[in-house]
Amino acid sequence: MRAGPGQRWLPLDAEEHYSVQPPGFVWAGTARLGPLPVARARDMYAEGTGWMLVKVASLWPVADTSGEQTDQAAMMRYLSEMIWFPSAFLAGNISFEAVDDSSARVTLTDHGRTATGTLFFDTEGKVTDFVAKRYRTPGASSPETWSTPVTGYGEFEGLRLPTRGKAIYKLPDADLEYINVTVTQLHYDTGAADQASAPAQEGAPDEGPGLGGEQVWDDR
Alpha-carbon distance of 6 to 190, in angstroms, equals 43
Secondary element (H or E) of residue 144: strand 144-147
Model confidence pLDDT, tens digit, residues 22-50: 999 999 999 998 888 889 999 999 999 99
Write out the DSSP string of 32-44: EETTEEEEEEEEE
Ordered by start, the domain boundaries in the chain are: 13-219
Residue 211 clears pLDDT 50, i.e. is over it: no
Higher pLDDT pick, 138 / 152: 152
pLDDT at residue number 93 = 97
Model confidence pLDDT, tens digit, residues 104-130: 999 999 999 999 999 999 999 999 999
pLDDT-derived band at 61 (thresholds 50, 70, 90) equals: confident
